Chain A
């Protein structure tokens, strides 16, 4: 490589980065923000970080299928490769832009004639990039000479070196391939299409060439890697394949689109609906707030009730609840037994016009770091995820929504795309992204967007476009133009229904909701006035005249006589029975005596009230009333609940329990909570004591092999150990863990520092040490 140094070519990635202008480095940090946290002290550190497996994994999440294919091409070539060779590998497509992207991401470096790929990329893409097997040399690395000799002989070369040389020469390899029969070729083609491994019985057996597989094995075109598996060497795969990297699409797949009629109208309809439903739900919660589950979130029954209230599926209800919380309209109260309650922001929201209210909800959804669709899914402990609970968290959700909506945003306005084609496009754009929900996430996002009125009939609405690219105000203005005008009147019908033939002004809607029950919703709202609903209005402090006035002033149709009668009838009967609270009563057939008692000055402390000529109530308990009356010189007798006389001396004095605010000290620790508390205590204890005892460097540097052995032992014996650990952000910590398992370069362990199960990457463990019994 000395020659490269002389002509100015970079000798390493660090070398190349050093040569980059500042703005290019800045763009790298933007594209891979994890490299900048914390700010690396020098380019050496930056390079090192850029080569870390986890960082490479993240960088690859944003790489499209073609660029990824290019990267695979680079990996397929064991060492450096040239621009021309690479272009050839991907089927002659123009690779300039894609290669540029990889360079900008610091995944590839070097001049066009000697392209290098960062080491960790090889690790991340695995030993079978593009579905190709390992090179012959790697496949045969563990073979003994006794195994190799017959192959070399069969092919007619000298030893492994001869074999590798032959395989490296395409034309010579082709000659060898040409000797293969039809059956043999078929096997090769199957394995070449990937995956390159095949299951075979007795692969390692040396014996007569009695099958196509045996022939291929005997000629090195297949290599037995264990007794049950054969591998197709990469050189052979590349030669057999028509396109070396498989089916490579240089451009994104097209969307399957349609241009539905009236999509904006449908979207606006949904938008208004969502706003109304959210309000209906939160109004219900203002009156009867649901409790917060101990594990966080909303109970199943409360979700069902919410769904019923807004006449929607539980899934929709969960979405609206999550969105309302995301928009800051709902939160849990700070009480000891917390409730889900509307926030003060809700009052502001409710006062806004519908279109602005919608933008608040839509923004809340776009920024919601949660996946409402996970509600009800069974998690690790077979517990259904609760809305507003911790199991619905999904920090990547906002970015995912943007990605999905971005697809529609890029399409011509008014274009709807099928979910399948959106999924396909997104998969092309970032094949390594999404994890287990890769297929579901875009579909969910599209469904939620439709429910929330961002899209109508699958097309992004004009106002949602404004929301995504402009301001709330612009979006609200566009939406407002699509919404029907608010009505200031209703139609009162003789069957005691009240029809609001469109959305109502807020005040009117509120008043109607007090005096009538909603019977059906949709474009219009049908209310029914019933005896119960009128009584409710009267209970809420409306007078009969208020109700008459409401209907008279707001109805476009004449008020039916039956409605007037109903209101008057209920009003006439309302409040005829009176209910109140008293702690005790006095009764006396002699009216004059009661009058006398009422007039007595000292009796005023008893807070007496005359209900009828012969009945007086008191706000004081029986014993007190008796005492006061006796002190006044009367001879009262106590009465039991059934009217029988109570013997005076037998009455021990008691007081009625007054309602008190619940106090913390009264709380009883339940078994489960107590268990958790103890665990937490112990964990803190262990961590704290260990920290006291450990020297400045908690765990001495140990070799990786030792580290692994130590951790495996600890896992087997369920022993706590000290580890020093550097996390993804570069922070060094030391902590006490109890390893559960060690595999694939990761340690699964219970972390006493965090009090939860975690996975640690072995290469980030700086050292290990035992935790002594005395710790």
Chain B
């Protein structure tokens, strides 16, 4: 028994006591293979998963390092069975390799014949394999490279993809570091990606993922296809690329519902890629429109299923995934691993925050008590209407106004229900942006917001995705989509961009007491607390009187 900071649990979670003197050292040692699951103030929880261990293998760590780290930092004896399991799991990665044979082309090669025998007999795997070349090698169909990797992951023998990439059409791109510099972690992220060839970089919102993307493009110096969640986000990518790289307006194309430009660097939305006409994905040809040297996926955790299928055919291109979290609400982490690639870089939010790159945030839950009349309506409502009723309680309006008045700063008010948003817009005298707002109008309003011509914006769910509002230091959310963690991460991201003066960001949630609203707020609260943010609860009366 040592006096280490780490406690290994029987469910394969690792508890790290952060106030321990060896905590930092321990964190560095376990971060490569354990997924950070929760990071509340005192004890962080990591989890050992097969994917995490394979990610570590892909990054060049071996089982011995993992076992050593666990044994070295563990406070109590580590169950032997767990160590054996770790070693066994890690040992599964790389037994199979996809390689480029000079004579036969793409082959699946093994160092362990038994494993190859197992997979060639698997019903799901065998159709993707060709003839047996020798006991250790079997021909693989290049067109099935992605699906083969998916299938192999499913049967528990993830293949290491060594088959390499095509360079693609070269195109000069360089970083333009005038008055700013690539941050250390961004540089490390790009290095990690380039070294691995393909993969995912995990960085929190506001930590400069776009710049990591730009630097990767400069590194590749090749034509690039960038897939983003929506048009606004695409335009922001474009302006960022113009600012940070030597690329010019003419070199960057937009491929969206409105424009269909194909240029050396093309930015397309997930939406257009997944649009179907007569059951056909009509914009698929974009992938083959040029000899792309790099494909960038923004917000990988939102990557829609059809794009996964298309990506399976893109395995000879370098792929970079960018995201704030590998956790997908649809549980398709395995597909990200096999199709985009293993995780190449990851940094915990709080660490980046302490380096001053993202703003410290102060999260507050304001509890309003609904009026008797509202409570009565709520009590007798149909279950499906309940959430809307309590989250749009009129009582909230006054509290929101008071909060807005309290801060002499620009405010984002975020909600899910249009009636409520319209009402708030009128009450607060702020423009409302919702799904039906035209892109041009949106950009005009964003610009006005940036120039501080308006005191704030009332936005609907559209704000959940990549919009860039650099100076939003105050966010107030009044209703949401049933406490989704995904949404919470996004909304928090809105206010976490670094402020010029380093002032604290405020994140308010206004909830109705003793209702579903409060129940969902509990989920959000848990999420924020797990991310390590201070979370306080105040009574609406205190706000109104203060």
Residue ranges of A at the interface with B (Cβ–Cβ < 8 Å): 262, 265-266, 268-269, 311, 456-457, 482, 484, 491, 493-497, 499, 501-502, 520-524, 526, 531, 557, 560-562, 565, 569, 573
Q: How far is the CA of A482 from the CA of B17 in the complex (A)?
A: 22
Check B76 against A484 for contact (C-beta < 8 Å): yes
Judge whether B423 is part of the interface by a CB distance below 8 angstroms: no
Q: How far is the CA of A491 from the CA of B16 in the complex (A)?
A: 12
Residue of A nearest to B527 (CB): A495
Judge whether B529 is part of the interface by a CB distance below 8 angstroms: yes
- Give the residues from 1 to 30 in chain B that come closer than 8 angstroms, CB to CB, to chain A: 1, 7-11, 13, 15, 17
Check B43 against A520 for contact (C-beta < 8 Å): no
Residue of B nearest to A268 (CB): B77
Residue of A nearest to B519 (CB): A531
Q: How far is the CA of A223 from the CA of B7 in the complex (A)?
A: 73
Check A501 against B75 for contact (C-beta < 8 Å): yes
Check B43 against A499 for contact (C-beta < 8 Å): yes
Q: How far is the CB of A194 from chain B (nearest CB, A)?
A: 36
- Give the residues from 509 to 540 in chain B that come closer than 8 angstroms, CB to CB, to chain A: 514, 522, 525-526, 529-530, 534-537
Residues of chain B with a CB closer than 8 A to A493's CB: 40-43, 529
Judge whether B80 is part of the interface by a CB distance below 8 angstroms: yes
Judge whether B92 is part of the interface by a CB distance below 8 angstroms: no
Q: How far is the CA of A658 from the CA of B514 in the complex (A)?
A: 39
Contact A522:B10 (CB < 8 A) given known A269-B76, A499-B15, A499-B43: yes
Give which listed residue, B17, B77, B525, contacts A501 with CB less than 8 A: B17
Q: How far is the CA of A16 from the CA of B79 in the complex (A)?
A: 59
Give which listed residue, B9, B40, B522, B525, contacts A524 with CB less than 8 A: B9
Residues of chain B with a CB closer than 8 A to A524's CB: 7, 9, 15
Check A311 against B80 for contact (C-beta < 8 Å): no
Check B526 against A496 for contact (C-beta < 8 Å): yes
Residues of chain B with a CB closer than 8 A to A268's CB: 77
Residues of chain A with a CB closer than 8 A to B15's CB: 499, 501, 523-524, 526
Give which listed residue, B11, B17, B41, B536, contacts A520 with CB less than 8 A: B11
Q: How far is the CA of A266 from the CA of B8 in the complex (A)?
A: 13
Residues of chain A with a CB closer than 8 A to B392's CB: none
Contact A523:B8 (CB < 8 A) given known A266-B80, A560-B535: yes
Residues of chain A with a CB closer than 8 A to B1's CB: 265, 482, 484
Q: How far is the CA of A523 from the CA of B73 in the complex (A)?
A: 13
Check A495 against B7 for contact (C-beta < 8 Å): no
Judge whether B74 is part of the interface by a CB distance below 8 angstroms: yes
Check B529 against A560 for contact (C-beta < 8 Å): yes
Q: How far is the CA of A560 from the CA of B535 in the complex (A)?
A: 8
Residues of chain A with a CB closer than 8 A to B7's CB: 501-502, 522-524
Check B75 against A502 for contact (C-beta < 8 Å): yes
Residues of chain A with a CB closer than 8 A to B76's CB: 265, 269, 484, 502, 523
Check B80 against A495 for contact (C-beta < 8 Å): no
Residue ranges of B at the interface with A (Cβ–Cβ < 8 Å): 1, 7-11, 13, 15, 17, 38, 40-43, 45, 74-77, 79-80, 514, 522, 525-526, 529-530, 534-537
Residue of B nearest to A264 (CB): B77
Check B75 against A523 for contact (C-beta < 8 Å): yes
Q: How far is the CA of A557 from the CA of B15 in the complex (A)?
A: 16
Q: How far is the CB of B376 from chain A (nearest CB, A)?
A: 16
Residues of chain B with a CB closer than 8 A to A482's CB: 1
Residues of chain A with a CB closer than 8 A to B536's CB: 561-562
Q: Which 6 A-B pairs have the closest CB atoms?
A: A522-B9, A495-B529, A523-B76, A494-B529, A269-B77, A265-B77
Check B77 against A522 for contact (C-beta < 8 Å): no
Contact A311:B537 (CB < 8 A) given known A262-B77, A499-B43, A523-B75: no
Residues of chain B with a CB closer than 8 A to A561's CB: 535-537
Residues of chain B with a CB closer than 8 A to A560's CB: 529, 535
Q: How far is the CB of B515 from chain A (nearest CB, A)?
A: 12
28 contacts between A and B (CB under 8 A): A265-B1, A266-B77, A268-B77, A311-B11, A491-B17, A493-B40, A493-B41, A493-B529, A495-B529, A495-B530, A497-B43, A499-B15, A499-B42, A499-B43, A501-B15, A501-B17, A502-B7, A520-B9, A522-B79, A523-B7, A523-B77, A526-B15, A557-B41, A560-B529, A561-B536, A562-B535, A569-B514, A573-B514
Query: Which of A269, A482, A521, A522 gathers most chain B CB within 10 Å?
Result: A522
Q: How far is the CB of A581 from chain B (nearest CB, A)?
A: 26
Q: How far is the CA of A526 from the CA of B40 in the complex (A)?
A: 13
Residues of chain A with a CB closer than 8 A to B43's CB: 491, 493, 497, 499, 501
Give which listed residue, B75, B80, B526, B537, contacts A565 with CB less than 8 A: B537
Query: Which of A520, A523, A565 gathers most chain B CB within 10 Å?
Result: A523
Residues of chain B with a CB closer than 8 A to A497's CB: 38, 40, 43
Q: How far is the CA of A561 from the CA of B534 in the complex (A)?
A: 10
Query: Which of B45, B77, B80, B530 gathers most chain A CB within 10 Å?
Result: B77
Q: How far is the CA of A557 from the CA of B42 in the complex (A)?
A: 8
Check A494 against B40 for contact (C-beta < 8 Å): yes
Check A494 against B535 for contact (C-beta < 8 Å): yes
Residue of A nearest to B2 (CB): A265
Could you list 20 further interchain pairs (A-B, Cβ under 8 angstroms) beyond the known A266-B79, A521-B11?
A: A265-B1, A456-B80, A484-B75, A493-B43, A494-B41, A494-B534, A496-B529, A497-B40, A501-B15, A501-B43, A502-B76, A520-B11, A522-B7, A523-B15, A524-B9, A526-B9, A557-B42, A560-B529, A561-B536, A562-B535
Q: How far is the CA of A560 from the CA of B526 in the complex (A)?
A: 12
Q: How far is the CB of A562 from chain B (nearest CB, A)?
A: 6
Q: How far is the CA of A491 from the CA of B10 in the complex (A)?
A: 19
Q: How far is the CB of A686 from chain B (nearest CB, A)?
A: 57
Residues of chain A with a CB closer than 8 A to B45's CB: 526
Residues of chain B with a CB closer than 8 A to A565's CB: 537
Check B74 against A495 for contact (C-beta < 8 Å): no
Residues of chain B with a CB closer than 8 A to A266's CB: 77, 79-80
Residues of chain A with a CB closer than 8 A to B41's CB: 493-494, 557
Residue of A nearest to B534 (CB): A494
Residues of chain A with a CB closer than 8 A to B514's CB: 569, 573
Q: How far is the CA of A523 from the CA of B530 in the complex (A)?
A: 21
Residue of A nearest to B367 (CB): A565
Contact A457:B535 (CB < 8 A) given known A494-B41, A495-B40, A524-B7: no
Q: How far is the CA of A521 from the CA of B12 in the complex (A)?
A: 10
Q: How far is the CB of A468 from chain B (nearest CB, A)?
A: 22
Residues of chain B with a CB closer than 8 A to A457's CB: 80
Residue of A nearest to B38 (CB): A495
Q: How far is the CB of A493 from chain B (nearest CB, A)?
A: 4
Residues of chain B with a CB closer than 8 A to A494's CB: 40-41, 529, 534-535
Q: How far is the CA of A520 from the CA of B534 in the complex (A)?
A: 24
Residue of B nearest to A573 (CB): B514
Residues of chain B with a CB closer than 8 A to A265's CB: 1, 76-77
Contact A495:B526 (CB < 8 A) given known A266-B80, A557-B41: yes
Residue of A nearest to B6 (CB): A523
Contact A523:B525 (CB < 8 A) given known A491-B43, A494-B40, A499-B15: no
Check B10 against A311 for contact (C-beta < 8 Å): yes
Check A491 against B42 for contact (C-beta < 8 Å): yes
Contact A269:B79 (CB < 8 A) given known A311-B11, A484-B1, A524-B9: yes
Q: How far is the CA of A494 from the CA of B15 in the complex (A)?
A: 15
Give which listed residue, B8, B17, B525, contacts A522 with CB less than 8 A: B8
Contact A562:B17 (CB < 8 A) given known A502-B76, A522-B9: no
Q: How far is the CA of A262 from the CA of B67 in the complex (A)?
A: 14
Q: How far is the CA of A538 from the CA of B186 in the complex (A)?
A: 51
Check A562 against B80 for contact (C-beta < 8 Å): no
Q: How far is the CB of B379 from chain A (nearest CB, A)?
A: 13
Q: How far is the CA of A522 from the CA of B77 in the complex (A)?
A: 10
Q: How far is the CA of A433 from the CA of B79 in the complex (A)?
A: 34
Q: How far is the CA of A11 from the CA of B40 in the complex (A)?
A: 89
Query: Which of A311, A495, A531 gathers most chain B CB within 10 Å?
Result: A495
Q: How far is the CA of A568 from the CA of B530 in the complex (A)?
A: 22
